[in-house]
A and B are shown apart, each in its own frame.
Chain A
Amino acid sequence: MTSPASTVLVIDDEPQIRRFLRAGFELHGFAVIEAENAAAGLKAATFDAPNLIVLDLGLPDLGGDEVLERIRSWSNVPIIILSVEANEQEKVRALRLGADDYVVKPFGIAELLARSDAALRRYFRSTDKNPIVKAGPLLVDLASRAVSLDGKRVQLTRKEYTLLHLLASHAGLVVTHQQLLKEIWGKQSVNIQYLRILMRKLRQKIEPDPSQPRIIATESGVGYRLDTSAASSAD
């Protein structure tokens, strides 16, 4: 899915972090632009038209929220947040402000690349003619709304499908509780326990082993993620 021409803008004030990010992205065919602060980052985001932005939330000159808002005011470019603290509220806020996903330091490059690929895929999906999402043994056809597990058709209720559809259309990316509640029930006032119960039912239908779910991952305090890297049971 990643084209060799993809350019990633890395905005982080730590030179060592930038160094390994450059090495990691270049190893996987990305071109890398580095920015050591928000000012340089915003400038590069404007003039160099990157396909993806990796943004550290702890920049010295401007808050991460502010940088996010400014970029989002004119661009839909995928943004992955780097956060030091495993602070759920901070993640949720960044996601609400338009970040596509986050990774918490320390992280391996594989994790960041998986998020980046997922974000890029979602960004380019509008032009994709084959909207089928694969997560291990699970196939979701977003166009025909058909779901199959190991080739067998799975029957889902309307709400169960809506939930799966939302996760599948953000395949590999986290979807927050608020987003899910709003999309499924049409209003955010619905309590999160409805979502928990619905998720439990969905997992019982689509997970090969519901006691050890691998297809839908839980992000405590944030949301859920359809794990496209889950191994297919057929593999």
Chain B
Amino acid sequence: MSNIRISPHDARNDSATRPRHPLMRIIRTNAIPVLVSLALVVLATEWLSVLQEFTRLDLVTLFYLLPVLFAAVRWGVVPAVFAAIAGAAAADFFFYPPLYSLWIQDPRHAIDIVVFLFVAVVTGDLAARLKRDADALRRREAAMRELYAFSQRLAACFTGADLVFAVQDYLSNTLGCNAFLIARAALVEHGNDATRESIPEAIRQSALALLATAPAQTCRVADAASGHTWLISTVAEASGYGAIAVDLGKAAGDDLAAIEQRVETLLREADKTLQHLKIAEAIEQARLKQQADALKDALVGGVSHELRTPLASITGSASVLAETPAVQSDPRSRDLVEAIQDQAHQLDADIRNLLDATRITAQGIRPHLEWTDPTDIVHAAVGQKSRRLAEHPLHVEVASDLPLLRLDSGLVEQALAQVLDNAAKYSPAGAPVTVSARAEPGHVIFSVTDKGAGLTPDEKAQLGRRSFRGQRHTLGAPGAGLGLWVASTLIATNGGTLDAASQGADRGTTVTIRLPVSAEAPVPAEVADD
């Protein structure tokens, strides 16, 4: 895939047919323009002689500036000079006495001719230079346009192979050159046969040598067999992508330099793009990771659901079993069935946390706010976890004057139940758990205190983190960090905060939930009084 050959569409490379000698080349390229310029001078002479019939002309030589300027603008300085000389000769021969002779009688006419020649050559040169500049500008503009199109094409490249296609296509279309990518690995491992044919072995070896020795460079290599010159340039050395070899043909001298320069510009551009591709690759990987996360969340959601149904069957079946006379009459069986129920409940609670965490991450939570008695929340949470808290003496201390709160009671109950669950989980049997609710100015505060495992400063630091994965792994017991993270998120969606404090390991934990009291007075006194 890395070695793709694209043939040039047409062989514009006509340098092979050009004469070698510079002078010969000048003559060859200027022959026709010079002849046409001379013809123009003849034409000007014809017009002048016609005009001469009607009136006497003073500045004849001015007329001969016209063919000079025309030749200069059209073909450059050489035909212009020829036109100037021919014009001066014609003026002298046909219009200055003695007529039909190159001899000049009047010194003024001599000055006239000399000035004409001077002006003609200077303006001719100026015009020619102007034309050359305009041409160069046009060429450069075309090259820029090509390069722009090329970079646009590069921008659309997503893989190294795309890039090589773009480079080859561009080179063959604009310069008529063949280009090949010699990938480091591909070349060593499995050289494509078709590529072997199109890249001369000598060039291949040179490219390999270049890759082996110099990490980033460009070199010109002559292929003795075909007489072609090749340009080999390493690209994207950071990624070790390889080298691009371009067949420059048989061009030599300035032509070769010009082509080489364009190819190099191009390759630099391509190299930059190859570097970008690495960035694009990184972005692509990030996108893939995001997709994987989404998939994982979906999986967790789906799996959780799939797990909860069988768990519901297990819980239900165990509860039926617990009521059968056979189990009721056998303490050991009853014990086992209770264990099944407890464990199934625990597993379901853990899965529920996973599910909630996934849901929070995926779409967030929209609380359904309504006026709630915080007392109700405490009682509902305690009621929900009564079975779990059975082994712990439970103290409930709820102040009687708590203000009503505007929040989603279901979510806050779930959070508080989770905190109670943790207290039970990390306390030895028989250790008391205290739940309290009290009012402070602007807040209602729930707190759950246990005499259990406590938190090390490290673990406490972990609780604040929003990455439940980190918590889960740093807190030894599975599900603990996740549960607290879910709880604190649920509290946060209700405008509150959740904090855990501990004197240290094995010295118990106090989890405090602070919920804001809404400023508006919720109820007129007389309504409640009936």
Contacts and interface: CB of A to CB of B under 8 A. Distances in A.
Chains A and B belong together in one complex: yes
Contacts of A24: 316, 319-320, 323
B339 to A, nearest CB: 14
A158 B380 contact: no
B418 interface: no
Interface stretch (B164-172, B368-376, B485-493): B368-376
Given A192-B370, A197-B523, A21 B316 contact: yes
A110 B311 CA distance: 17
B278 interface: no
A144 interface: no
A88 interface: yes
B527 to A, nearest CB: 5
A19 B371 contact: no
Contact of B530 (A86, A158, A219): A158
Contacts of B132: none
Interface residues of B, number: 50
B341 A17 contact: no
B459 interface: no
Interface string B55-85: 0000000000000000000000000000000
A218 to B, nearest CB: 4
Interface centre among A198, A210, A212 (most CB of B within 10 A): A212
A201 interface: yes
Question: What secondary structure prevails in chain A residues at the interface with B?
Answer: helix
B305 interface: yes
A212 B375 CA distance: 9
Interface string A14-51: 10110111011001100000000000000000000000
Interface string A205-233: 00000111100011111000000000000
B316 A17 contact: yes
A153 interface: no
A220 B313 contact: no
Interface stretch (B236-244, B248-256, B403-411): B403-411
A201 B320 CA distance: 39
B404 A221 contact: no
B26 interface: no
Interface in B371-395: 371-373, 375-377, 379-380, 382-383
B400 to A, nearest CB: 8
A19 B317 contact: yes
B407 to A, nearest CB: 10
B376 to A, nearest CB: 4
B453 interface: no
B316 A196 contact: no
B312 A193 contact: no
A220 B309 contact: no
Contacts of A20: 313, 316-317, 319-320
A211 B400 CA distance: 8
B528 A107 contact: no
B368 A109 contact: no
Contact of B410 (A193, A196, A210, A221): A221
Interface in B313-336: 313-320, 322-324
Given A109-B320, A220-B413, A196 B313 contact: no
Given A88-B410, A193-B523, A110 B312 contact: no
B490 to A, nearest CB: 12
Given A88-B410, A211-B397, A212-B379, A192 B371 contact: yes
Nearest to A194: B527
B371 A213 contact: no
Nearest to A21: B316
B257 to A, nearest CB: 76
Contacts of B314: 106
Given A24-B319, A107-B316, A193-B523, A221 B408 contact: yes
A106 B348 contact: yes
Given A20-B317, A88-B410, A199 B373 contact: yes
A88 B382 CA distance: 18
A110 B337 CA distance: 14
Contacts of A158: 530
B345 interface: yes
B300 to A, nearest CB: 16
Contacts of B410: 86, 88, 220-221
B457 interface: no
Interface string B115-153: 000000000000000000000000000000000000000
B323 A109 contact: yes
B270 interface: no
A102 to B, nearest CB: 14
Interface centre among B371, B382, B396, B408 (most CB of A within 10 A): B371
A157 interface: yes
A117 interface: no
Given A24-B323, A84-B305, A211 B396 contact: yes
By Cβ-Cβ distance, the 10 closest A-B pairs, closest first, are: A108-B319, A16-B313, A197-B528, A193-B371, A106-B315, A221-B410, A106-B312, A105-B312, A157-B530, A24-B320
Interface of B: 305, 308-320, 322-324, 341, 344-345, 348, 368, 370-373, 375-377, 379-380, 382-383, 396-398, 400, 404, 408-410, 412-414, 522-523, 527-530
16 contacts: A16-B310, A17-B309, A17-B316, A21-B316, A24-B319, A24-B323, A88-B368, A89-B368, A106-B311, A106-B314, A110-B323, A191-B371, A198-B528, A211-B398, A212-B396, A221-B409
